[in-house]
Amino acid sequence: MKRSTINDIMGQADAFIRSFGFALPPFAYWTPEEMRARRGQIDGIVQGRMGWDITDYGEGRFDEMGLFLFTLRNGRQADLKKGGGMCYAEKLLISRKDQLSPMHRHYLKAEDIINRGGATMAIELFGSAPDGSLDETAGGTVLCDGIARDYAPGEVLLFQPGESITLMPGDWHAFWGEGGDVLIGEVSTVNDDEADNWFRDPIGRFAEIEEDVAPTHLLVSDYGRWLG
């Protein structure tokens, strides 16, 4: 993805989020230079990979297959391992109309996916085989706003604003905006996007960036190179 495109998506996403009465935290608007100047104070942001995350899954077709995310908070893997402390994470996502977030699962993370506003959120579901791979013959049971709901293999569940689904490790899922763009909330176990996203097809989690202009704000995938 071109950096200029990413900068534009950030501006569009910020306006879309604000249209629903949500506001991003102040660090969202820091320039790369401001983040460097504050480096000694922001280990929590850098190590938690909090912030902007825009991906086309390395396929170069963002409008067709991609996702906007902003990680608002993220706990500590060490706390999760000891069973106490900051064991949670929260994100805002934007799934555009017919923009696929491709079929994947998590081995560790459980997550609530919430339609925070906009159009219909569509989620396609499959169960797992004993080895963890997608089983095209397996359905399962999920909680939708705390109510148990069975799903058939490959069934697409639709969620209106205010509705949610709880996905457990092993629930294979893909999602998109149905009929328009959707603002999505995610509340989950500690999030590890580098190691806990398992895709059905061999694709990447992060975009490859063409640096045609300077970044307005850093992506979480920029932190290692820009901030050390």
Confidence of residue 91 (pLDDT cuts 50, 70, 90): very high
Which amino acid belongs to residue 104?
Answer: H
Evaluate if residue 39 carries a pLDDT over 90: yes
More reliable by pLDDT, 218 or 195: 218
Tokens representing 64 are: 């067709």
Per-residue HEC secondary structure of the chain comes to CEHHHHHHHHHHHHHHHHCCCCCCCHHHHCCHHHHHHCHHHCHHHHHCCCEEEEECCCCCCCCCECEEEEEEEECCHHHHHHCCCCCEEEEEEEECECCEEEEEECCCCCEEEEEEEEEEEEEEEEEECCCCCEECCCCEEEEECCEEEEECCCCEEEECCCCEEEECCCCEEEEEEEEEEEEEEEEEECCCCCCCCEECCCCCCCCCCECCCCCCCCEHHHHHHHHC
Q: How many angstroms separate the CA atoms of 52 and 57, rounded?
A: 15
Q: Is 124's pLDDT higher than 90? A: yes
CA distances from 212 to 32, 62, 138, 215 (A): 16, 17, 45, 9
Residue 202 has pLDDT above 90, yes or no: no
Instruction: Assess whether pLDDT exceeds 90 at residue 205.
Output: no
Report the chain's mean pLDDT, rounded to a whole number: 96
CA distance 220 to 204: 15
What is the CATH number assigned to the segment(s) 3-227? 2.60.120.10
Given a cut of 90, whether residue 204 has pLDDT beyond it is no
The ranges assigned to domains in the chain are 3-227
Provide the percentage of residues in the chain whose pLDDT is more than 90: 93
Average pLDDT over residues 68-82: 94
pLDDT at 15 over 90: yes
Q: Which residue has the tokens 């902003």?
A: 70
Q: What pLDDT is recorded for position 216?
A: 97
> What Å distances lie between residue 228 and 8, 27, 36, 75, 209, CA to CA?
26, 18, 9, 20, 18
- pLDDT reported for residue 20: 97
Within a 10 A sphere around the Cβ of 203, how many other Cβ atoms? 16
Kindly state the average pLDDT of the residues 172-192: 97
What contacts 5, CB < 8 A, 6 or more positions away?
62
Q: Does the pLDDT of residue 159 top 90, yes or no?
A: yes
Residue 30 has pLDDT above 90, yes or no: yes
Percentage of the chain lying above the pLDDT 70 cut: 100
The residue-averaged pLDDT of 161-190 equals 97
Give CA separation, 57 vs 63, 104, 192, 204, in Å.
11, 12, 16, 5
